[in-house]
A and B are shown apart, each in its own frame.
Chain A
Amino acid sequence: MRTTWGQRLLVALPYLWLLVLFLAPFLIVLKISLSDLAVARPPYTPQFDLSEGWSGLRDFLAALDFENYVFLAEDSLYIDAYLSSLKIAAVSTAITLVIGYAIAYALARSPQRWRATLVMLVILPFWTSFLIRVYAWIGILKTEGLLNQFLLWVGVIGEPLTIMNTNTAVYIGIVYSYLPFMILPIYATLEKMDESLLEAAADLGSTRLAAFFLVTLPLSLPGVIAGCFLVFIPAIGEFVIPDLLGGSDTLMIGKTLWVEFFNNRDWPLASAVATVLLMLLIVPIVLFQRQQMRQGMGS
């Protein structure tokens, strides 16, 4: 069959989109990361200039180097920030999984007529700005905030807890913000599960707990994996939450990047940080893609 131009264009569109909106900006960032810091506007050299002709291009390429990457590897601050980001993302994902699974399970087991409403409630926070919701947590978590007032009033604690500006606040913020991304894919797998499978497991001698681990959990695994990736990947690069809720000792790569870019105005180094972050993220993203593909073929 011959493909028409229209069909080719249709196939080309998403690639064009990726080219313009992803690949081109990335190449610019990559180029900046290979440049040197300069007191100029924009603050780096060399500048890409075609007016000089071939020799200009040769000079331009010769001026690019991996200095910034070497610097990243030598200064333990950046390595620590990357590792700390990975750790915070991993721990948050684990906490989100436990809470999200429980909520998804409750949703899937709730009476049919309530389900649409309950799922709606899970999505409801998206109707408000993410930034405002994170700000709201400051009001809850700060020393004289709602949580401390409540706990003091109940009498559980004698003096206010310091949660604000600690890693704990960052965990709370990430878990809260990304919970819906965990709940929805798990709910989707649990909801379509045939309930007679659990009856069959009981009929064949399983306790309810055994049936959960032998039937429910394995069958919801695709949802669990999807949810974990959807939380883990954006959590690594998270900037707003550690910036607003975290303290000075909260080390996350998104925040480091922001400081390099805006405070230090070191665009080349910030670009190198961003490029390495992207490389780090590609691994889980590729794994996620592959898992989604396999699932797509299985069903």
Chain B
Amino acid sequence: MAVTLPFAPWADPDVAPLIEIRDVTKRFGAFEAVKSLSLAIYEREFFAILGPSGCGKTTLMRMLAGFEAPSEGTISLGGQDMAPIPPAKRPVNMMFQSYALFPHLTVEKNIAFGLKREGTPKAEIAERVTDIMRLVQLTDFARRKPDQLSGGQRQRVALARALVKRPKLLLLDEPLGALDKKLRQETQFELMGIQETLGTTFVIVTHDQEEAMTVSSRIAVMRDGELAQVSTPTDLYERPDTRFVADFIGEVSILEGRVTNASRGGVGLSVMEGAPDLRAATRTTPPAGTTAWLALRPEKVSISVLPPAAANRMRGKVLDIAYLGNISTYHVELADGAIVKAQESNRQPADRRGITWEDSVWISWEEDAGVLLLA
């Protein structure tokens, strides 16, 4: 019986990365946009660079495209140093945030632009343009100009124009930023489908963590020009390395405390005078006395009126309830003023939910529900 291994070339030491960014620094005057950053991206990956605005993610992408040159360090693609190669000669294409469609050319001619520059024979251009238009469902719009298209259609023209050159690497700069939410979600899945069909390596830059989580094989979280963490979406969510990452990806409550008794597989964490120590599972065992933080995802915290039987429980008062329809998030204030969010799905109708504002409640979670962070 054939075993399908999960797609994880980064875990295989025998696979050479497609892109290798080595100690790259980029300075604009005195400002360091990217600080000695190293990163390897593998063939067929859908790789997301995620971070708040101003974190250097766009600069990093522009260096991959060739619009900016690194101040220090090297970028290689398929083992070849990219430094001397101008954007026009790189086997890399970019889909611009503004789409940058040529307004004076039709959809068809926009898409054919790159192939014509390469000197591809006419018949082949026609064939490849037709194929790619079919792939992105633009066949009916071939003769239209960009200003006669909707936002979603323009986005697909930009994608087709970049893909038709069959680049080794496709860069997407906030590709879905200009679309409304519903269209964005549909388009995310379309993008994934197209990437899978063509097998091209995609690198997407985004500030939208949901988008990054949905589409990518791995995510690099950037902060102030440095990499905060590079992991799969699951790892990033379940096992963040730092408070920044935990906070940036999804919702989280963070409790600060001191490590008391470390033992194999878990530690005690004192977060409040007089309250029993919390138990948290860890893979590393930090020495007692270390300051540490416990990151709790709201959906892993339960809320109840009666004291529950769980590894960790604390008393608190309901400060706020965010009703989202399918779920409600309770903001519970602990005795020391810290706030922990607990999420419950609304299986009961709203009027039969037992908990309301100002109620005294218990929150609880299992030993392996939280993540112990040391930074």
Report A's interface with B, CB cutoff 8 A.
Answer: 194, 196-197, 199-207, 210, 214-215, 218-219, 298
Question: Contacts A197-B102, A210-B117, A219-B103 given: A204-B93 contact, CB under 8 Å?
Answer: yes
Beta-carbon contact of B113 and A204 below 8 Å: yes
Would you call the interface of chain B mostly helix, strand, loop, or mixed?
mixed
- Find residues 114-157 in chain B having any chain A CB closer than 8 Å to their own CB: 114, 117-118, 147
| In the complex, per-residue mask of B98-121: 1 if CB is within 8 Å of any chain A CB, else 0 | 101111100000000110011000
* B165 interface contact, C-beta 8 A: yes
* B73 interface contact, C-beta 8 A: no
* Bound form: Cα–Cα A204–B95 in Å: 10
Other A-B pairs, 17, CB within 8 Å; known A200-B102, A214-B113, A298-B147: A194-B98, A194-B100, A196-B96, A196-B97, A197-B100, A199-B94, A199-B96, A200-B100, A202-B87, A203-B65, A203-B88, A204-B88, A204-B93, A204-B113, A204-B117, A219-B103, A219-B104
Would you call the interface of chain A mostly helix, strand, loop, or mixed?
helix
Chain B residue at smallest Cβ distance from A196: B100
Beta-carbon contact of B100 and A205 below 8 Å: no
Chain B neighbourhood of A201, CB < 8 A: 102, 113
Beta-carbon contact of B88 and A202 below 8 Å: yes
Beta-carbon contact of A206 and B104 below 8 Å: no
* Bound form: Cα–Cα A204–B93 in Å: 7
* Bound form: Cα–Cα A200–B117 in Å: 12
Closest 8 CB pairs of A and B: A204-B114, A205-B117, A200-B100, A196-B100, A202-B87, A218-B104, A205-B88, A203-B94
Chain A residue at smallest Cβ distance from B164: A204
* Bound form: Cα–Cα A210–B118 in Å: 12
* Bound form: Cα–Cα A194–B103 in Å: 10
* B244 interface contact, C-beta 8 A: no
Beta-carbon contact of A215 and B88 below 8 Å: no
* B323 interface contact, C-beta 8 A: no
Pick the contact of B67: A194, A199, A206, A219 (CB < 8 A).
A199
- Find residues 295-333 in chain B having any chain A CB closer than 8 Å to their own CB: none
In the complex, 17 of the A-B residue pairs with CB atoms within 8 angstroms, ordered by the A residue number, are A199-B65, A199-B67, A199-B100, A200-B102, A202-B67, A202-B88, A203-B65, A203-B88, A203-B93, A203-B94, A204-B93, A204-B114, A204-B117, A205-B118, A205-B165, A210-B117, A214-B113
Chain A residue at smallest Cβ distance from B173: A196
* Bound form: Cα–Cα A298–B146 in Å: 12
Chain A neighbourhood of B250, CB < 8 A: none
Chain B neighbourhood of A205, CB < 8 A: 88-89, 114, 117-118, 165
Chain A residue at smallest Cβ distance from B167: A203
Chain A neighbourhood of B101, CB < 8 A: 200
* B86 interface contact, C-beta 8 A: yes
Chain B neighbourhood of A196, CB < 8 A: 96-98, 100
* Bound form: Cα–Cα A206–B59 in Å: 22
* Bound form: Cα–Cα A242–B103 in Å: 42
Chain B residue at smallest Cβ distance from A217: B104
